[in-house]
């Protein structure tokens, strides 16, 4: 997994500029990811690449477009020292795995890493960086591709009843 490194306080406007909020297709949003912030990202990102941020990644507005643009670009994981709460949940809801790593600043831009969720570490070079455990139910949502797909998979649980007359 190749790393695209960003700093602290990367807001949702930096991830996907507001002028593209009329777009809902993740692939089309991906063409504008980090436009004006780091243009080489949208031009060179590849499926399986990882975004690494510092503190407060995804701050700003509550738009789902930000994690959708990353998913559309082929990014499946975002690692940061901390996330804005709403970005974290929007990431999960759209099927993008957010991973908290207090030592994310030790991961170099362009480096290759391995994420070992079982042992809760990121292997970066010769280092093993601990990560916070991903709660099982959140991981299940991500594995299904997002909240909508997860809800659809719960066919044994009725989502509503037709008891009205």
pLDDT category of residue 114 using cuts at 50, 70 and 90: very high
Is 164 inside a domain boundary?
no
Q: How far apart are the first and last CA of the chain?
A: 55
Say how far apart CA 73 and CA 45 lie, in whole Å.
7
Total-model pTM:
0.90
Mean pLDDT to the nearest integer, 80-95: 97
Residue 158 lies in a domain: no
CATH number for the domain that contains residue 73: 3.20.19.10
For residue 160, being part of any structural domain is answered with no
Residue 46 dihedral angles phi and psi, to the nearest 5°? -130, 155
- Interval 1-18 mean pLDDT: 96
pLDDT at 90 over 60: yes
Residue 163 in any domain: the answer is no
Residue range of the domain that includes 79: 3-153
**pLDDT of 165 higher than 70:** no
Residue 95 maps to a domain? yes
Q: Is residue 7 assigned to a domain?
A: yes
- Domain count for the chain, please give it: 1
- The residue with greater pLDDT, 160 or 126, is 126
Q: If pLDDT is split at 50, 70 and 90, which confidence band does 61 have? A: confident
In the numeric block, the tokens 């930000």 are attached to 66
For the chain, the three-class secondary structure string (H helix, E strand, C coil) is: CEEEECCCCCEHHHHCCHHHCCCCCHHHHHCCCCCCCCHHHHHHCCCCCEEEECCCECECCCCCHHHHHHHHCCCCEEEECCECHHHHHHHHHHCCEEEECCCHHHCCCCCEEEEECCCCEEEECCEEEECCCCCHHHHHHHHCCCHHHHHHHCCCCCCCCCCCC
165 belongs to a structural domain: no
Is 120 part of any domain?
yes
């Amino acid at each position: 997994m190749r790393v695209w490194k960003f700093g602290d306080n990367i807001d949702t406007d930096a991830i996907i500029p507001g002028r593209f909020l009329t777009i809902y297709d993740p692939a089309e949003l991906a063409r504008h990811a980090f436009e004006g912030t780091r243009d080489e990202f949208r031009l060179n990102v590849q499926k399986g690449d990882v975004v690494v941020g510092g503190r407060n990644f995804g701050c700003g507005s509550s738009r789902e477009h930000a994690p959708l643009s990353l998913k559309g670009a082929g990014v499946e994981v975002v690692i940061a020292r901390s996330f804005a709460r709403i970005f974290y949940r929007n990431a999960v809801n759209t099927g993008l795995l957010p991973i908290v790593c207090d030592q994310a600043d030790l991961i170099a831009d362009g480096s290759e890493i391995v994420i070992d969720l079982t042992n809760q570490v990121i292997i970066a070079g010769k280092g093993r960086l601990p990560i916070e455990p991903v709660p099982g139910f959140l991981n299940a949502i991500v594995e299904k591709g997002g909240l909508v797909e997860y809800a659809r998979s719960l066919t044994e649980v009725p989502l509503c009843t037709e008891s009205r007359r």
